Amino acid sequence: GLSIARLGLALGCAIIVGLGSLFGTLVPLFFQNRAVPGTGRGAVILCGLAVMVAGIVVLARAGGERGSGQTRQGGSAYAAALLMAVVCGLMAPMVNYSFAFGQSIAERAVALGVPATRAGYAIWPVALAGGLIPNLAYSVYLLWKNRTWGAFSGTWAHDGGLAAAMGLLWMGAMAIYGVATVYLGTLGTSLGWGLLQIFNIMAANVSGLVTGEWKAAPAMARRTLYAGLALLTAATVILAAANR
C-alpha cells in the first residue's frame, strides 16, 4: 500500500505482483516438481515466465514514460518507493508458499472426509493468520500515532463497506484459486499462481486506466502500456498450454 501510493496503482502492482508471481511460481515448481524444469514442459513454463517478466519490464517502462508528463517525486524518493515495491514483491508469494507447502493440512482434511476441492480451506486460516499480525499491528500503530481512533465514532459505513467488499473479493479469489489448484494437478500451486497473478496485474492496469491514472500520460506511455498487457496475455496462453 505504501509503495503503490508513491508509484501509482499500475506501476506499483506491476512490480509487486510481478515479482510475487515469478518467485511464487518458481519456488513450488523447483521444490515440489524437481523433474519438470528439465523437460519440454518445463521449458514451456520457463518461456511463459520469461514473457511474463518481459511484460512486467515493459509495464514498468510505461510507468516511467507516464511520469515524464507529470509532476513526480525526486530521484531519491522514487528510488525508495521502488525499493519498497521490490521488497514487498519478494515477500508477496509467502501466502502461496504457505498453501503449497502446507498441503499436509489439506491431506489430513481429505482423510477426515472433506472433498479434495474443499480441503484447501483448512490451510487458509493458518496461512493468513501470519499476515494478520503485522497488518493489524501497523494499523493500530497508525491509529495511535495520528490520534485517529475517534474516526470510528463517526459515519464510516461507506469506507467500512468498501473495505469489507475488498476483503470479500480478495478472499473469494484466493478460495477459487485453492479449488483451481486441485483441477490443475501437480503444477497447480505453480502454474495456477502465475496465472492468477498475471490477471491481477492486468486488472490493476485496467483499473488505472478506468480511474484516470493514465489520463495525462503521453501517447507513447499508453502504447507501451498496451504492449506490456499484450505480453502478459501471451504469457497467459503459454503457461496455459504448459498444463495441457
Domain ranges for the chain, please list them: 2-242
Q: Are 108 and 35 in contact (CB under 8 A)?
A: no
pLDDT in tens, 180-222: 999 988 888 988 998 888 888 888 888 888 988 888 888 898 8
> So what's the pLDDT on residue 102?
92
User: Region 225-243: what's the mean pLDDT?
Assistant: 90
Residue with cell 518445463: 42
Mean pLDDT of 23-49: 86
Contacts of 159 (CB under 8 A, 6+ apart): none
Q: How far apart are CA 106 and CA 131, in angstroms?
A: 20
Separation between Cα atoms, residue 214 and residue 62, nearest integer Å: 10
pLDDT above 70 for 17: yes
- Give the per-residue pLDDT at 51: 93
* Single-letter code of the amino acid located at 2: L
Estimate the crossing angle of helix 124-146 against helix 157-184, to 10 degrees: 160
DSSP-based three-state secondary structure for 240: helix
Is pLDDT above 60 for 71? no
Cα dihedral 103, 105, 110, 115 sign: negative
Mean pLDDT of the chain, nearest integer: 85
Give Cβ neighbours of residue 213 (< 8 Å, ≥ 6 apart). 8, 9, 10
Give one word for 112, left, alpha or beta, with left for phi > 0 and alpha for psi -120 to 50: alpha
Nearest to 180 by CA among 137, 116, 92: 116
Give yes or no for a contact between 92 and 27, defined as CB atoms under 8 angstroms apart.
no
Amino acid 74: pLDDT: 54
Please state the pTM of the whole predicted model.
0.78
- DSSP classification of residue 25: H
